[in-house]
């Protein structure tokens, strides 16, 4: 079978396609034919060796996907060959087949395609935990969503609107760009460039500031995001698309108004199988009801994994990017 492998060649890891033996399921595992694998910023961080994502090459990137079970290991009772399943935060998903722990995959409901399921898992559950658990948005909360036309941003905007938040969305597109239209359609009340969002927050809040900022951009927006918060507001830094944020002096939180700062990650919000099934189940349920639109911004054959990551890093894409191993 074919897999994508990251290998070091004098700099950041270079991605290439190679052949490996097909996996066999161990006890408690299933082997899945991968129909679609999600492309995420954490894949790029892994390839570049950033922080906690550093991985010794050679390695197979990817942590999200969907497909069909083709083999079941011992002690697996709740899954069978032919079941359609999806997963997030499991390694080596840039492949035609992958062996996975059975208790960390979820069944895909009828009515949801494999591509939509792959696109919804990591980013959908990330958006879910951000606005339901990290900072549970309440009716009328002034909420900043950065990169609102991106994969997480579009889903998060829709979920915040479901909870009654007033959304100030940022995008990198101009006033007539497609990103603005996408953010508005997702439910944003205001859409503005990164250079003006603080002004809009002031207008929307009568000068009080935002209750929460959801920031997956990182270095380029961090300072203004902190400054946009009201006293006791929360800064939720969940990504670093523009680069990692330098170390922060805690005294800044004091002088800013007893602010809260958190750097969450999905792993800690799907800590057990019950929480995983709950979050994925709500996301899938909203999709089936038509309450959550999942936008696939681009699909690529497995051999173009490097291009997919380059396109994502450029921040010119919208929605979710997927690798299709069968193409």
Supply the pLDDT for residue 316.
76
Domain identity same for 55 and 114: yes
Q: What is the mean pLDDT of residues 290-312?
A: 95
- Helix (H) / strand (E) containing 211: strand 210-215
Q: What pLDDT does residue 7 have?
A: 74
- pLDDT tier for residue 2 given thresholds of 50, 70 and 90: very high
Same-domain check for residues 152 and 244: yes
In this structure, are 222 and 314 located in the same domain? no
Residue 102 lies in a domain: yes
What are the structure tokens assigned to 215, written together?
């920031």
Residues 251 and 280 grouped into a single domain: no
Percent of the chain with pLDDT over 90: 83
Q: If we measure between CA atoms, which residue out of 136, 130, 132, 134 comes closest to residue 151? A: 130
Give the count of domains, the chain. 2
Q: Based on the domain organization, do 257 and 178 belong to the same domain?
A: yes
- Indicate the DSSP class of residue 134: I
Q: Examine residue 132 and state whether it is found in any structural domain, yes or no.
A: no
Residue 59, domain CATH = 3.90.180.10
What's the domain range around 274?
2-122+270-324
Q: Same domain, yes or no, for 7 and 111?
A: yes
Q: Which has more pLDDT, 113 or 59?
A: 113
Give percent above pLDDT 70 in the chain.
95
| Sign of the torsion angle spanned by Cα atoms 22, 27, 33, 34 | negative
Mean pLDDT, rounded, for 229-255: 95
Residues 149, 268: Cα–Cα separation, whole Å: 25
Instruction: Compute the distance between CA of residue 183 and CA of residue 170 in angstroms, rounded to an integer.
Output: 8
For residue range 176-216, list pLDDT tens digits in order: 458 999 999 999 999 999 999 999 999 999 999 999 999 99
Judged against a pLDDT cut of 90, whether residue 6 lies above it is answered with no
Average confidence score pLDDT of the chain: 93
Q: Which of 214, 233, 263 is the last residue of a domain?
A: 263
State whether 114 and 155 are in the same domain: no
Give residue-wise pLDDT tens across range 19-72: 999 999 999 999 999 999 999 988 888 777 766 667 777 889 999 999 999 999
**Three-class HEC string of 87-153:** EECCCCCCECEEEEEHHHCEECCCCCCHHHHHHHHHHHHHHHHHHHHHCCCCCCCEEEECCCCEHHH
First to last CA, the chain: 13
Phi/psi of residue 159, nearest 5 degrees: -70, -40
Q: Give the CATH number for residue 162.
A: 3.40.50.720
Beta bridge mates, 143: 167, 212
pLDDT tens sequence across 118-167: 999 999 999 999 999 999 999 999 999 999 999 999 999 999 999 999 99
Q: Mark whether 14 and 105 lie in a shared domain.
A: yes
The confidence score (pLDDT) of residue 45 equals 80
Q: Domain for residue 10, yes or no?
A: yes
Length of the chain: 327
- Beta carbons of 283 and 257 less than 8 angstroms apart: no
Q: Which of 216, 244, 263 is the last residue of a domain?
A: 263
C-alpha dist (Å) from residue 198 to 19, 142, 150: 50, 12, 20
Give domain status of residue 129, yes or no.
Answer: no
Question: Residue 54 domain-assigned?
Answer: yes
* Residues 153 and 113 occupy one common structural domain: no
Position 11 pLDDT exceeds 70: no
pLDDT at 59: 86
Mean pLDDT, residues 271-278 taken together: 97
The answer to whether residue 95 sits within a structural domain is yes
Q: Are residues 19 and 116 in the same domain?
A: yes
Give a yes or no: residue 223 inside a domain. yes
Asked whether residue 238 carries a pLDDT value surpassing 90, the answer given is: yes
Residue 44 forms part of a structural domain: yes
Taking a C-beta distance cutoff of 8 angstroms, is the pair 125, 266 a contact? Answer: yes
End residue of a domain, out of 238, 263, 288: 263
């Amino acid at each position: 079978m074919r897999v994508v492998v990251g290998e070091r060649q004098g700099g950041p890891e270079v991605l290439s396609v190679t052949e490996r033996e097909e996996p066999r399921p161990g006890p408690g595992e299933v082997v899945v034919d991968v129909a679609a694998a999600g492309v995420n910023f954490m894949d790029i961080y892994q390839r570049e060796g950033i922080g906690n994502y550093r991985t010794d090459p050679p390695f197979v990137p990817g942590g999200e996907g969907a497909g069909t079970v083709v083999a079941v290991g011992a002690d697996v009772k709740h899954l069978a060959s032919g079941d359609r399943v999806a997963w997030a935060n499991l390694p080596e998903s840039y492949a035609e087949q992958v062996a996975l722990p059975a208790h960390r995959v979820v069944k895909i409901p009828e009515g949801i395609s494999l591509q939509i399921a792959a696109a919804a898992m990591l980013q959908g559950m990330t958006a879910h935990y951000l606005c339901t658990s990290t900072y549970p948005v309440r009716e009328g909360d002034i909420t900043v969503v950065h990169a609102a036309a991106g994969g997480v941003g579009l889903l998060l905007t829709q979920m915040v609107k479901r909870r009654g938040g007033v959304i100030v969305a940022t995008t990198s597109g101009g006033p007539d760009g497609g990103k603005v239209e996408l953010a508005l359609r997702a439910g944003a009340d205001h859409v503005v460039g990164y250079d003006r969002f603080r002004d809009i927050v002031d207008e929307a809040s009568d000068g009080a500031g935002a209750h929460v900022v959801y920031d997956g951009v990182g270095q380029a927006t961090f300072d203004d995001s902190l400054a946009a918060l009201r006293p006791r507001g929360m800064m939720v830094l969940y990504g670093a698309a523009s680069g990692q944020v330098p170390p922060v002096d805690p005294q800044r939180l004091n002088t800013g108004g007893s602010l809260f700062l958190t750097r969450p990650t999905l792993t800690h919000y799907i800590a057990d199988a019950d929480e995983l099934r709950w979050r994925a189940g709500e996301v899938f349920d909203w999709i089936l009801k038509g309450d959550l639109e999942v936008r696939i911004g681009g699909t690529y054959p497995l051999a173009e994994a490097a291009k997919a990551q380059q396109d994502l890093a450029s921040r010119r894409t919208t929605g979710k990017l997927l690798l299709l191993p069968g193409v």
